[in-house]
Structure 1
Amino acid sequence: MKSLFSSSMAVAVAPPLEKPARSETMWAQTSRRLRKSNTAVFGLVVVVFLVLVAIFADVIAPYSPTANNPNATFEAPSAKYLLGTDQLGRDMMSRIVHGSRVSLTIGLSSVVLAIFVGVPLGVIAGFYGGKFDTLIMRAMDVILSFPVILLAIIIMVMFTPTDGFWGIVKVTGAVAIVRVPIYARLVRGSVLSIKEKEYIEACRALGQRDPLVLLRHILPNCLAPIIVAGTLSVATAIIVEASLSFLGVGVQPPTPSWGWDLKANVAWIQESPWLALCPGFAIFITVLSFNLFGDGLRDALDPRLK
């Protein structure tokens, strides 16, 4: 009887509940999608390689990029001079390696500077509207009415061309100015869309101040397009810098610059083609890599854009 009673009163024990799977964050999804894109991975690998070359240029370059050697002018590529020498006897490989530092410094710095200026302008114009929006956007329209290269040239001719650090600073500022409207218009459009969401209206109804709403709820939702635009803009900035140097209003010699080396050696394209091909190829592969990585990053952040 006891066994029957105990068996009849037995209660089935339910199996333990499984822990719910963690939801994947947006950045984890982006990283996973990015790894599936061979072109984006290739672009990222090349970009990282170029950044490392720029950082360790003093170690990688076999010679000084500004040292003249009258006894070794127009040397063909060899074991001693891997990419040959120019009309002044300067080692081209050393100039290409150190030129990567100049191009990447200007490209990355100008984009960061343009973001720091353009994003606040776009936020103010989109969030507050009215006279702020009209004034800021009309100023951006004036800048956009000029071709990028032409406006950069106008800005550069206002200053005395110099070499070295200050030459790089001037070119960085000129390139940043012509890129500011890109971020101002981009962020303004995003803010206009986001500020109409219900959770933004709820935050304001609860008494949250505008700076807090902007920093905690609006700006984080603008990061993805800013990152994509910034990555793609580095390629454009490098082209603008090379164009300014090619035209003689950018970084001045003897500071190594791909654009200046291309200009200085294009006259010898038939006798010594490697002198012009090397800086030209450096510009090409750098711009291509940033574009491939930027396109892959855009698709990874928003697969609907494919």
Structure 2
Amino acid sequence: MEPVMNTSSKNVEKQKFDSTWTIARKKFFKNKLAMTSLIFLVFMIAISFLAPYLLSMDDVTRINLAEINQEPSSDHWLGTDRNGRDVFARTLYGGRVSLTIGLLSMVFVTLIGSFFGSIAGYYGGWVDNLLMRFTDFVLTLPFYVFVIVLNAIMMGFGKVTGMWSLIIVFSLLGWGSVARIVRSKILAEKENEYILAATSIGCKPSKVIIKHLIPNVLTTIIVQATLLLAVYIVAEAGLSFIGVGVPPEIPSWGNMLMEARETDVLQNKLWIWVPPAVCITFTILSINFLGEGLKDALDPKAKK
């Protein structure tokens, strides 16, 4: 009878999983704001990562004293900065750096948080207490203070670039909230009958977690991941703006905004800082609207 029970449990679980995602997909496609946000976000990612194939690197890094602070024209669509570099080219290349930091940090933080949260939630007992106390310790650390300090230390070694240094630091310090959310979902989910049945027939804990528990809390993880993407894009921009994020020689949206600290640039040379500011604003808005759309689509209690 055990193989029959196992097969039946798997079929019920698969039907539930397929049905949930089918309904969620239909609800998401009906959300015009979320779909528009998704299209915009994909467009921003595409043109940013295709920048090396669309533009020359010389426009980004080469200093041209003869074209300093030029207004937008047919030669330079968004003008040039105080070093004569093309603002349009730097905006695209800067998006490549900022989005890479946001995307990779989000992926690593989600993976680390999901790992610790699922282990703590499934095993409980002293394992749960140990991991959650460590998680609480990480959450009590002043995030930006430790990011600045650790980023400076890692870059001081000279073996880690500014972009990867931020990604590593964000990943080490940002997983706590994901771990707590995943743990709470796992604690509720593991009491269901199909989990008890899988455990009773001798399924390994790793198999129960990966094949049974994680797919059923995946909706929560996805929504949380979209929010983290916005958080780390803003974090990079803020840290670079005050000069402690990505090194100034590497174009990023935050580094481009750093020039807006000068009063003359802020008031009279809008073309230098408005493009990256607009890109950050609309990218974050699209991510937030996308997250809300996913949350509504994946919520079984929301209206169809």
Bucket of the pairwise TM-score, normalised by the shorter protein: 0.7 to 0.9
Q: Hey, what's the Cα distance between the residues in 1 that align with 2:278 and 2:172?
A: 27
> Which of residues 135, 153, 163 in structure 1 aligns to 2:148?
153
Cα pair 2:155 2:165 within 8 Å, conserved: no
Structure 1 265/139 Cα, relative in aligned 2: closer, same or farther at 3 Å? Answer: same
Cα pair 1:73 1:89 within 8 Å, conserved: yes
Q: Hey, what's the Cα distance between the residues in 1 that align with 2:247 and 2:157?
A: 6
Q: Hey, what's the Cα distance between the residues in 1 that align with 2:300 and 2:81?
A: 47
Return the offset for 1:271.
2.1
> C-alpha deviations, 1:32-59, integer Å up to 9, x for none?
1111111101110111101111221023
> Which of residues 88, 91, 94 in structure 1 aligns to 2:89?
94
Q: Secondary structure in 2 aligned to 1:90?
A: coil
Q: Hey, what's the Cα distance between the residues in 2 that align with 1:55 and 1:119?
A: 28
Q: What's the counterpart of residue 6 of structure 1?
A: none
Structure 1 209/128 Cα, relative in aligned 2: closer, same or farther at 3 Å? Answer: same
Taking every aligned residue pair, what percent have the same amino acid on both sides? Answer: 36
Return the offset for 1:66.
0.9
What's the RMSD between the two structures over aligned residues?
2.2
Q: Hey, what's the Cα distance between the residues in 1 that align with 2:236 and 2:186?
A: 31
Q: What's the counterpart of residue 232 of structure 1?
A: 227
Q: Hey, what's the Cα distance between the residues in 2 that align with 1:204 and 1:158?
A: 46
Q: What's the counterpart of residue 300 of structure 1?
A: 297
Q: Hey, what's the Cα distance between the residues in 2 that align with 1:210 and 1:69?
A: 61
In the alignment, does 2:56 pair up with 1:59?
A: no
In the alignment, does 2:134 pair up with 1:139?
A: yes
Structure 1 305/244 Cα, relative in aligned 2: closer, same or farther at 3 Å? Answer: farther
In the alignment, does 2:259 pair up with 1:264?
A: yes
Q: What's the counterpart of residue 124 of structure 1?
A: 119
TM-score, normalising length from structure 2? 0.87
Comparing 79-88 and 172-181, the one that deviates more: 172-181
Q: Partner letter of residue 289 of structure 1?
A: S
Return the offset for 1:30.
1.6
Return the offset for 1:164.
11
Return the offset for 1:165.
7.4
Q: Secondary structure in 2 aligned to 1:87?
A: coil
Q: Partner letter of residue 45 of structure 1?
A: I
User: What residue ranges of structure 1 are gaps of 5+ in the alignment?
Assistant: 1-21
> C-alpha deviations, 1:105-135, integer Å up to 9, x for none?
1111011111221111111111111222122
In the alignment, does 2:32 pair up with 1:38?
A: yes
Alignment of 1:111-260 (within 5 A): 111-160=106-155, 166-260=161-255
Per residue, is there more helix in 1 or in 2? 2
Cα pair 2:154 2:160 within 8 Å, conserved: no
Q: Hey, what's the Cα distance between the residues in 2 that align with 1:125 and 1:156?
A: 29
Q: Hey, what's the Cα distance between the residues in 1 that align with 2:298 and 2:125?
A: 32
Q: Secondary structure in 1 aligned to 2:207?
A: helix
Q: Partner letter of residue 149 of structure 2?
A: I
Aligned length: 285
Cα pair 1:54 1:97 within 8 Å, conserved: yes
Q: What's the counterpart of residue 3 of structure 1?
A: none
Structure 1 104/165 Cα, relative in aligned 2: closer, same or farther at 3 Å? Answer: farther
Q: Secondary structure in 2 aligned to 1:98?
A: helix
Q: What's the counterpart of residue 280 of structure 1?
A: 277
In the alignment, does 2:23 pair up with 1:29?
A: yes
Return the offset for 1:189.
0.7
Q: Partner letter of residue 284 of structure 1?
A: T
User: What residue ranges of structure 2 are gaps of 5+ in the alignment?
Assistant: 1-14
